Amino acid sequence: MHTKHVIEHEVTQKVVGFYQDFSMASLASLPAIYAAEVEFVDPVHVTHGLDNLHSYFANTMQNVTHCTFTFSQITESDDGAFLVWEMVFKHPKMKGGKAISVPGVSQLKYQDGKVSWQRDYYDMGAMIYENIPVIGKVVKSIKQRLIP
């Protein structure tokens, strides 16, 4: 295997390991995975720089009691990867503290052995809006009306 491909595969494995047990404690390993000038994009936020990514993740995890990712498909390219995943998390103010499952996909770009760009795709309705009392019922009702 070509050296560049070995390095990229190692980066992918670090990313997978990081998200398999996503917690406040795991944030310490961010500098080993993400470039200092990383750009991170998801349906909620756009973040530039490692310090801002750390702050964003820390704020996101503040009230989450459990969060894991299970990866069902990993496709690596010359300069990055696509990861198909399912996130399961618990938040005391959402769905009565029960587990919430959200499918998603991450597109990663690598540079110098680290993630330089990441974009996550997932359904915000399934993640948040459907799991908040009152709003959740409205969102689910609208979705049901849209599906024939």
- pLDDT (tens digit, 9 = 90+) per residue, 32-79? 999 999 999 999 899 999 999 999 999 989 889 999 999 999 999 989
Decide if 35 contacts 46 (C-beta within 8 A).
no
Q: How far apart are CA 17 and CA 33, in angstroms?
A: 10
Integer Cα distance of 89 and 99 in angstroms = 5
94 versus 80: the higher-pLDDT residue is 80
pTM score, whole prediction: 0.83
Distance CA 139, CA 130 (A): 6
Alpha carbon 25 to chain centroid, angstroms? 16
| pLDDT bucket at 116, cuts 50 / 70 / 90 | very high
Going along the chain from its start, the domains and CATH numbers come out as: 3-123 (3.10.450.50)
Interatomic CA distance for residues 98 and 46, integer angstroms: 28
